[in-house]
Structure 1
């Protein structure tokens, strides 16, 4: 049986604020995340995290707009698929399609907000809860294994790692979501320019709205760049404080 003291300690650990990170950690984690995004092999592996956020965005908005979520699949080529039932047109479908490419940096922005308050452990546990919720809707083995591995790694860091390791892990992950949300939009337009992608989110949006697919690609890019800027300012708080700018 869990004692009151044990529960109190758990909640204090979960909700308590950690010390401010050294400014050098903020810089180094940002550089590591940027290196992963622009380097071919690391990006090929780490892109799975972007896909998780992308498909999770589709799924969450589908549920929030009243659509019936049928399942999520994550594939080894880092693509994914979220199936929902409901009207094939209308605001719910538009918002569901919009959510995919916007979700990774928006999740990163939420993480940056928590890190700005030094709520590192809380951020990691929220990530675990979201991954577990997504796992329930996964409909293929690769997707399930991916979520178990990622969720297990986050849980292990949150529970066993030192505060310094937790901080480095959290800042790198949030920087990666913010920066990594931009590259898939560029890749999308390149693929569309070469051979077309009638099944892409942008092309599906073009099919159910009066606006062309290129408009939606540009919208994805502009929103994600704006979110990157906002999240970057939040993460740069320790740097700005040391420079006397806050």
Structure 2
């Protein structure tokens, strides 16, 4: 019980406003190199890519919920594929929820970078920890549950044990890793449409093209626009933090 109370107090404490992060170029370059080193090599991507897939599927689920759809469950597989099953009226809500998968990691990454700029990194960490706990209710396969439990456990440990002075750096690092991961997945889906068309039936852009009167390339451009804008805005915020 004491552990739960300590965790809850740490979550609540995270909602207090902190000082915005002030950066210098060298530490930022070092952090970027670390993020790229953890997200680009195939060996480390096998692990971190599962978390990016998790955020991808949560993007589908959140978009479904805000448009009034009922989310039946999420599945995340060890091959980095996933599935979100929802029901509701066909049309806008189905297309809207189908779109917000690939952009989700980059958008969340931008939100984390922005939270460090505006002095809300601790709140972002607390919110993220709570969201990951709630997401456990929607998982419907053992691999997905294991991935969600590991992600939720890491989030809770970060909330409880990250020193206040380091919180902004941790949140900034997570944001940058999600941005790089979102870019990597974007290039992957573009590659499916240009070089590996035997896999096209698994592409969200292809599925959106089947559900709407707009072609797959339109949805690919939408992914590129949102992910690219998230990366560009994050870069702009980094330059502002470096003065």
TM-score computed with the length of structure 2 as normaliser: 0.87
Cα deviation for residue 149 of structure 1 reads 1.2
Give the aligned partner of residue 238 of structure 2.
235
Aligned residues: 236
34-43 vs 199-208, which deviates more?
34-43
Residue 229 of structure 1 deviates from its aligned partner by 0.6
For structure 1, list consecutive stretches of 5 or more residues without a partner in the other structure.
242-246
Residue pairs, 1:57-72, within 5 angstroms: 57-72=59-74
Structure 2: distance between partners of 1:153 and 1:21: 26
Q: Distance in 2 between matches of 1:188 and 1:215?
A: 13
Q: How far apart, in 2, do the equivalents of 1:63 and 1:158 lie?
A: 26
- Deviations 1:67-126, CA, capped at 9 Å, x for gaps: 111000111111111000123x41111101111111111111211221112322211111
Alpha-carbon offset, residue 50 of structure 1: 1.1
SS in 1 for 2:201: coil
In the alignment, structure 1 residue 221 sits paired with structure 2 residue 224: yes
Q: CA RMSD in A?
A: 2.4
Bigger Cα displacement from structure 2, 49-58 vs 151-160: 151-160
Matched with 2:91 is 90
Runs (4+) off by over 4 Å:
6-13
Does structure 2 retain, via aligned residues, the 8 Å contact 1:73–1:81?
yes
Deviations 1:200-231 (A, max 9, x none): 21111111222221221232122201111102
| Residue of structure 1 equivalent to 2:137 | 136
Question: Any stretches of 5+ residues in structure 2 without a counterpart?
Answer: none
Task: Find the counterpart in structure 2 of residue 106 from structure 1.
Answer: 107
Q: What does 1:136-155 correspond to in 2, within 5 Å? A: 136-155=137-156
User: Residue in 2 aligned with 1:51?
Assistant: 53
Q: Does residue 189 in structure 1 map to residue 205 in structure 2?
A: no
Counterparts of 2:69 and 2:51, CA distance in 1: 24
Please say if residues 25 and 168 of structure 1, whose CA atoms lie closer than 8 Å, have aligned partners that are also in contact: no
2:55 and 2:10 map into 1 onto residues whose CA distance is 31
Say whether the 8 Å CA contact 2:109–2:178 is kept in structure 1.
Answer: yes
